[in-house]
Amino acid sequence: MSEAEPRVWWGEFSVAEGSATHWQVGALSLWVQRRVNEWRVVSWSDPDHLMDGVEVREGLGLLEPPPEASVTRFATSSEGEQVVLEPALADRSVVTRPELPIFAMAGDEVALYVGSPLWVRLLVGSERRLLCEVPAFRPSDTWFGASTQEGELCYAARTSARLALEDGRVKPSRALTRVVVRNRGVDNIRIERLNLPVQRLTLFASSSGMLWTECVTVERRREDSLVRVQTSESPPAEAGTLTRLTPPRHPHERNVVVRAISALLG
């Protein structure tokens, strides 16, 4: 694995009674403690959401959490020690804003590599019961739509919107989506914001540990302002060998016609 690729932090772990395991995933510090008849989840996110380190420490003692951390207790009669961490995509659409606006020229297409924030899903026991979900970094809320009456509540995120995969590195707390904007219209499209419906996408892991979703194509028709959104069956070929990790939160059609391009691009 190269330095530009994240390490794997998810999977199954064993937390014995009277001990704890700590995960550092980017800005997120997460502790899972196993106590008598209790699971205790302690989480805290550093304000610096650009952090990209990964660390897993097992067999720790039951230390007191830092005062800024969130602590949640779960009572249980099970004696199981298994803890499963699953990465998951956000439960709302993510509006990503490139560092600089990008134009998709008339009659042309542009492929963007867009990152979106992850949630960490905690499951316990042999039956893998869901305890909770914790955002790796809680994005701010934003409204995306033509007016306050028409639109949806989303998360806001920044992205470099790379035009080539090798530009920069992918943080372990983010998933990557290849978005193709195909402009069949007669004028250029200015891309200042992109509304990515991540709750309708599947999460995959490459053999190197990078997290991907299926490809998304946004096609503007030549004859009108209607837009067709298409989701492929899998991530792009450059993702390499893949393992399917997490299904979509909401089932969806792979081909959807949207009435206005402003519903996806701003």
For residue 116, is pLDDT > 70?
yes
Establish if 182 belongs to a structural domain: yes
The stretch 94-111 carries a mean pLDDT of 86
pLDDT class of 220 with cuts at 50, 70, 90: confident
Query: Rounded to 10 degrees, what is the CA torsion of 227, 230, 231, 233?
Result: -170
Whose structure tokens read 């019961």? 129
Establish if 181 belongs to a structural domain: yes
Tokens of 92: 């709302």
Domains contained in the chain, number: 1
**Structural domain boundaries enclosing 245:** 91-117+139-263
Nearest to 105 by CA among 193, 184, 216: 184
Provide the pLDDT for residue 171.
81
Rg value, the chain, Cα = 20
Establish if 34 belongs to a structural domain: no
Establish if 19 belongs to a structural domain: no
Helix (H, G, I), strand (E, B) or coil at 261: helix
Give the Cα separation of 14 and 125 in Å (integer): 10
Provide the pLDDT for residue 238.
87
Residue 72 host element (H or E): strand 70-75
Q: Are 233 and 210 in contact (CB under 8 A)?
A: no
Establish if 200 belongs to a structural domain: yes
Coarse DSSP helix, strand, coil percentages of the chain, rounded to the nearest 5 percent: 5, 50, 45
Q: Which of the pair, 138 or 149, is modelled with greater confidence?
A: 138
pTM, whole model, 2 decimals? 0.85
Q: Which of the pair, 162 or 179, is modelled with greater confidence?
A: 179
Establish if 35 belongs to a structural domain: no
